[in-house]
Amino acid sequence: MKLTGTQIRHLRGLAHHKRSVITVGLSGLTKGVIKELDSALTAHELVKIKLPAGSRLDKQTMLHRLCASTTATSIQLIGRIGIIYRPGDPPVILLPGATRPS
């Protein structure tokens, strides 16, 4: 899903006050983590994830792999915290410039 800069800023603002829902441990991306993330995205649409310590490239790769396996969009990565968005059906979060489906 392609998001505009305005939509990304809006989602970052909404995610600011949220707590991390998923924590990826030292085992990395297991089937259980992906299943829990899929459930969290279905319930919340916008999810914060705490990633394990490592290089920035490792964390970016992990975040992109999580997005690919859950058909979500990466919004932001700061330190060990990543933000992922996947619209629901119907979407609960109305993005700027988007129309609500009827």
Position 97 scores a pLDDT of: 83
Please report which confidence band the pLDDT of residue 1 belongs to, taking 50, 70 and 90 as the band edges: confident
Sign, CA dihedral 29-52-82-90, equals positive
Mean per-residue pLDDT, 73-96 = 93
Q: Where are the domains of the chain?
A: 5-85
Does the pLDDT of residue 35 top 90, yes or no? yes
Q: What is the pLDDT of residues 40-77, one digit of tens each?
A: 999 999 999 999 988 999 999 999 999 999 999 999 99
SS3 47: strand
CATH superfamily membership of 5-85: YhbY-like (3.30.110.60)
Tokens 């920035």 correspond to: 56
pLDDT band at 102 (very low <50, low <70, confident <90, very high): low
Q: What are the pLDDT digits (tens) for 12-32?
A: 999 999 999 999 998 889 999
Q: What is the mean pLDDT of residues 1-16?
A: 93
Edge-first strand listing for the sheet containing 81-85:
20-23, 46-50, 81-85, 73-78
